[in-house]
Copies of this chain bind each other. A is one copy, B any other.
Amino acid sequence: MTILYYIDIVGTMVFAISGALTAVDKKLDFFGVSAVAFITALGGGTLRDVLIGSTPVGWMNDLTYLLMIVIGITISVIFRKIVQKLRRTFFLFDTVGIAAFTVLGLQKALLIGIHPIIAVMMGMVSAVFGGVIRDIVCNEIPLIFRKELYALICLAGGILYVIMESYSIAPMVVILTTFTFIAIIRVLAVRFHWKLPDIK
């Protein structure tokens, strides 16, 4: 679906902005900020492609992704104060970005013949591991391992997708339902501070 592609590239830009802002907080220089923006935006999809053996990794075949990241870095550096005030707006883009990354990552893995259960994991990896690698590079324990629960939402959305597909539901419906499910549940999770129980 073409619309998914557009959400994907906008999501890439939003992830780049999120990475750049984190790097600025860590007092990195211009190269560090750019590198962390790239890693955050492309890390999840890159890890998925390397694991499933789809190389050269996806973003190397479409320069649009690089362009969107460069735009994201430019916005972050020039309009940093404004961007930080608009966090609420960005949160919405971020959420649709995660939903798109999950669906597209899952589809790519299925297309290559990966088992559906692993493909669901790869959808989640696409959406979440850019942030994981960003945190590792910035010398933090990954945030998503400590308090955000959206990885589980991506997994749940992926399972929904695979189940619907097994019932031969029209692809368009499968995609839209999964996408909407992930986006809405994530908004609710953040709005009502849902969190996973600690293990003790």
Q: Interface of A with B (CB < 8 Å)?
A: 23-24, 26-33, 35-36, 46, 50-53, 55-57, 60, 63, 66, 77, 80, 112, 114-115, 117-118, 132, 136-142, 144-147, 149, 151-152, 195-199
Kindly list chain B residues whose C-beta atoms are within 8 Å of the C-beta of A149. Answer: 29, 31
Q: B118, B139, B141: which contacts A60 (Cβ < 8 A)?
A: B118
Number of copies: 3
Shortest A66–chain B CB gap in Å is 7
- A27-B115 CB under 8 A given contacts A36-B145, A146-B32: no
| A146-B66 contact, Cβ under 8 Å, with A52-B60, A55-B51 | no
27 A-B Cβ contacts within 8 A?
A23-B145, A28-B141, A28-B145, A28-B199, A30-B196, A31-B144, A31-B196, A32-B144, A35-B132, A46-B51, A50-B51, A50-B55, A51-B55, A51-B56, A51-B57, A51-B60, A52-B55, A53-B55, A53-B57, A56-B118, A60-B115, A60-B118, A66-B118, A77-B199, A137-B141, A137-B145, A139-B141
A29 to B148, CA, bound (A): 9
Count chain B CB atoms within 10 A of each CB in A63, A112, A146 and give the residue with the most: A146
A50-B50, A56-B112 known; A31-B145 Cβ under 8 A: yes
Q: Inside 8 A of A138's CB, which chain B residues have their CB?
A: 141
**How many whole Å from A82's CB to the nearest CB in chain B?**
15
Q: How far is the CA of A197 from the CA of B146 in the complex (A)?
A: 34
Given the complex, which residues of B lie within 8 Å of A32, measured CB to CB?
A: 141-142, 144-146
Q: Which of A35, A115, A199 has the most CB of B within 10 A?
A: A199
Q: Given A56-B112, A63-B115, is A199 in contact with B141 using a C-beta cutoff of 8 Å?
A: no
Cα A157 to Cα B29 in complex, Å, equals 20
Task: Return chain B residues, CB-CB under 8 Å to A31.
Answer: 144-145, 149, 151-152, 196
